């Protein structure tokens, strides 16, 4: 391979790996939610926490997009210190997330992980958890362009397959 071609290939790989860098919930979103992460108690008695701000995350089960808003179903998991859903742990429960605003990106699709900061809404029944989203943060460590990506302790690892 010629030096110019090698250099261009290096830049291409570097760009793809940089695109897989871990996304974290911003510090302003953590401050907005006062750093409170929804745990088992919130899922057990959601009505007791109505109106409070929380951070939660999980795997997206489904999205219903409408003009100016979307409804997301999320299977919530405990979060690690970087606020990524720990899908190797038992799930906490299902959550309905209501989003108002710009259309959601292609990273917000079923199967992807998502972290949300929002306000707990009145539950329609005793066991349902609903959240009005303030911030949605999709996990950008997703396969793309011939690469398989997965999260590691140090970030996102992408390999050509």
List the Cα angle 88/70/134 in 5-degree steps: 70
Q: Which of 25, 22, 24, 23 is nearest to 118 (CA)?
A: 25
Q: Is residue 78 part of a domain?
A: yes
CATH number of the domain that 57 lies in?
Answer: 2.40.50.140
Residue 116 pLDDT > 70: yes
Give the mean model confidence (pLDDT) for residues 74-88: 89
Q: Is residue 51 part of a domain?
A: yes
Q: Which of 158, 67, 70 is nearest to 114 (CA)?
A: 70
Predicted pLDDT of residue 21 = 35
> How many domains would you assign to the chain?
1
Domain containing 77: what range? 25-139
Q: How many other CB atoms sit within 10 Å of the CB of residue 138? A: 19
Spatial separation of the C-alpha atoms in residues 122 and 129, rounded to whole Å: 8
Model confidence band, residue 155 (pLDDT cutoffs 50, 70, 90): low
- pTM: predicted TM-score of the whole model, two decimal places: 0.72
Tens digit of pLDDT for each residue in 9-28?
A: 443 444 444 344 343 477 77
Predicted pLDDT of residue 158 = 67
Residue 48 pLDDT > 70: yes
Give the long-range contacts of residues 12-16, CB within 8 A, separation 24 or more.
Answer: 16/144, 16/145, 16/147, 16/158
Q: Is residue 145 part of a domain?
A: no
Q: Is residue 74 part of a domain?
A: yes
């Amino acid at each position: 391979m010629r030096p110019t071609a090698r250099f261009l290939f290096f830049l291409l790989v570097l760009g793809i790996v940089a695109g897989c860098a871990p996304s974290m919930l911003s510090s302003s979103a953590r401050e907005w939610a006062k750093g409170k992460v929804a745990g088992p108690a919130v899922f057990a008695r959601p009505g007791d926490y109505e109106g409070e701000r929380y951070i939660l995350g999980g795997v997206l089960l489904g999205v219903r997009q409408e003009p100016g808003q979307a409804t997301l179903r999320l299977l919530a998991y405990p979060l690690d210190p970087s606020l990524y859903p720990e899908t190797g742990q038992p799930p906490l429960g299902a959550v309905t997330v209501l989003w108002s605003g710009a259309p959601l990106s292609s990273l917000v699709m079923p199967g992807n992980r998502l972290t949300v900061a929002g306000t707990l809404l009145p539950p329609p029944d005793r066991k349902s958890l609903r959240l009005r989203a303030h911030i949605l943060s999709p996990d950008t460590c997703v396969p793309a362009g011939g690469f398989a990506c997965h999260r590691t302790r140090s970030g996102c690892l992408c390999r050509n397959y």
